[in-house]
Amino acid sequence: MDKHIEVSMLCEIYGKLLTEKQYSVLNDYYNNDLSLSEIAEIHHISRQCVRDFIMKGEGKLFEYEEKLGIMKKTQRQEKQIQTILSQISEIQNNSSDKKIEKILNEVQKELSVLV
């Protein structure tokens, strides 16, 4: 997975565990696609300070993920749900029982909300 996407996802999951400043700087850099100079100007700090906030914030996010594993669990669950949805579609395509088809449609709708 691309580091940019990974850090953005980790920030979404664990961002509130960071300091307000770390979260704000990481959010500006990864989600708002601002440059170090732009972030430095907004927060009235040096570019080096922005870089330090980013490095320390990233380190904390990866540390939280290593210890808690929420993103990894979520990704695994999403893959499992996709597999189940695929299997439901296959059953629906090969079934002629309307009652089963109705139940499978309901299950499919519920699972689709989770992805």
φ and ψ of 97, to 5 deg: -85, 115
Q: What is the dihedral of CA 6, 55, 17, 74, to 10 degrees?
A: 10
Task: Please give the Cα distance from 105 to 111 (Å, whole number).
Answer: 10
Q: How far apart are CA 67 and CA 45, in angstroms?
A: 31
Q: Residue type at 5?
A: I
pLDDT tens-digit readout, 48-106:
999 999 999 999 999 999 999 999 999 999 999 998 888 888 888 877 778 787 888 88
pTM here is 0.77
